[in-house]
């Protein structure tokens, strides 16, 4: 019997939620709503949907392996060079590529906990050691993360906003941390929820692209652009870093429909603004309602809300039986995606019932 290396056996597989249809079949319910995966409840841009339909005729052809048109559009939007952009099968793939490119067996990568679980999985997949630094006030403790750097540290992962807490790191604290980071460490800033941020003092990661620091900024079309099912994201870094990563990037890693839909979505600024406005209104509604029933929450800069709530599995299961799917985050917290107005209202009504029981 063949066996993988020990470090592979130590990885806890990512556990996705079951499809709505299967949960409804198991529980004997219908008309469920999913508020578990931080998707845009508005859906994709109509322009993206049209492009998707129009692209069916030539999917017998391989996609543009370089993503020329999408990278050109991102270059113009972000005022960076085209060779400073890399496309990925979601930003998840780029996390994996970064780990494979810059880590070897025994190297360390610093990250927060709780944060996006894929960071530690990517590090462990190449035999590296995740160094996990606890959050402070539900936020990355960048000072403590800088103190955790050792000669073995090769990567620092920062989710900004953080998943699952929705908090952000601010300019001053981020700049102080960067001063302590040597030029032989890659700082990966995961900005999957970047477009939802409204805080004026949000850390400016892009300003380090032209510096001697090594920074990789990751963004995605899965969240506010509503293209999670197509799996496409991108990274921004100096061309030398991306030249290294492209050695391990699989050919044709992003498909034709995803590239074209992302390009159309990128041009539809009205859809982005509308999605952000709906999220902000939903956030304010949920804040008011949660306060009215005495449920604690962490103020968010993303499209989800983290709630320290005691017995999370009891709450999760109670909501599930009422057709409301959320995400338990360990034994004492839940994470709830901000949905459409009717979804938010239904969640609150179900939560009141579960809490009262």
Q: Are residues 105 and 194 in the same domain?
A: yes
Q: Per-residue confidence at 40, pLDDT binned at 50, 70, 90? A: very high
Same domain, residue pair 98 and 211: yes
Which of 210, 240, 267 is the last residue in one of the domains? 267
Here the contacts of 325-333 (C-beta below 8 Å, separation 24 or greater) are 325/17, 325/20, 325/23, 325/32, 325/33, 325/34, 325/35, 325/36, 326/35, 326/36, 327/17, 327/36, 327/37, 327/164, 329/114, 329/164, 330/114, 332/308, 333/164, 333/306, 333/307, 333/308, 333/309
**Domain, as residue range, for 156:** 46-267
Buried b (16+ CB within 10 A) or exposed e, 183-204: eebbbbbbbbbbbbbeeeebbe
Q: What is the pLDDT of residue 167?
A: 98
What CATH code is carried by the domain that includes residue 33?
3.90.1150.10
Domain CATH number, residue 221? 3.40.640.10
Q: Do 173 and 247 have their domain in common?
A: yes
Q: What is the pLDDT of residues 107-118, one digit of tens each?
A: 999 999 999 999
Residues 327 and 260 in one domain: no
Identify any residues that bridge with 307 across adjacent strands, giving them in sequence order. Answer: 334
Q: Are residues 201 and 218 in the same domain?
A: yes
Structure tokens at 94: 């780029």
What is the per-residue pLDDT for 7? 78
The total number of structural domains in the chain stands at: 2
Tell whether 6 is covered by a domain: no
- pLDDT attached to residue 6: 82
Q: Is the pLDDT of residue 147 over 90?
A: yes
One domain for residues 29 and 71: no
Same domain, 191 and 288: no
pLDDT at 226: 98
Last residue of a domain, one of 250, 267, 284: 267
Q: State the pLDDT at residue 55.
A: 93
Q: Is residue 60 part of a domain?
A: yes
Bond before 138 cis per omega within 30 degrees: no
Note whether 242 and 304 are same-domain residues: no
> Considering the entire predicted model, what is its pTM?
0.95
- pLDDT tens-digit readout, 194-236: 999 998 899 999 999 989 999 999 999 999 999 999 999 999 9
Q: What is the pLDDT of residues 161-172, one digit of tens each?
A: 999 999 999 999
pLDDT at 71: 98
Residue 123's closest CA among 94, 90, 100? 100
């Amino acid at each position: 019997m063949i066996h993988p290396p020990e470090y592979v056996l130590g990885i806890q597989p990512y556990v996705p939620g079951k499809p709505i249809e299967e949960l409804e079949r198991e529980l004997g319910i219908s008309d469920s709503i999913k508020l578990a995966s931080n998707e845009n409840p508005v859906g994709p841009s109509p322009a993206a949907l049209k492009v998707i339909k129009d692209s069916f005729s030539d999917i017998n052809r391989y996609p543009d392996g370089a993503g020329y048109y999408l990278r050109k559009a991102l270059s113009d939007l972000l005022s960076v060079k085209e060779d400073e952009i890399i496309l990925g099968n979601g930003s998840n793939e780029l996390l994996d590529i970064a780990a494979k490119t810059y880590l070897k067996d025994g190297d360390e990568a610093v990250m927060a906990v709780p944060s996006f679980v894929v960071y530690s999985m990517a590090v462990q997949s190449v035999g590296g050691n995740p160094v996990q630094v606890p959050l402070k006030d539900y936020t990355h403790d960048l000072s403590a993360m800088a103190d955790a750097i050792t000669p073995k540290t090769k990567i620092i992962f920062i989710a900004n906003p953080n998943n699952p807490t929705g908090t952000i790191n601010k300019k001053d604290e981020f700049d102080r941390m960067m001063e302590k980071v040597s030029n032989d460490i890659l700082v990966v800033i995961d900005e999957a929820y970047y477009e939802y941020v409204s805080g004026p003092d949000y850390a400016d990661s892009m300003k380090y692209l032209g510096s001697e620091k090594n920074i990789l900024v990751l963004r995605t079309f899965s969240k506010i652009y509503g293209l999670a099912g197509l799996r496409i994201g991108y990274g921004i870094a100096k061309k030398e870093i991306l030249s290294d990563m492209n050695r391990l990037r699989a050919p044709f890693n992003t498909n034709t429909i995803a590239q074209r839909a992302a390009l159309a979505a990128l041009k539809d600024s009205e859809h982005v603004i509308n999605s952000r406005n709906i999220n902000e209104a939903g956030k304010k509604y949920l804040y008011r309602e949660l306060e009215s029933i005495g449920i604690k929450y962490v103020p968010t800069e993303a499209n989800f809300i983290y709630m320290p709530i005691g017995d999370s599995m009891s709450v999760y299961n109670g909501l599930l039986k009422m057709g409301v799917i959320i995400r338990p985050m360990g034994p004492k917290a839940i994470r709830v995606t901000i949905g459409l107005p009717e979804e938010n209202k239904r969640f609150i009504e179900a939560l009141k019932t579960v809490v009262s029981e």
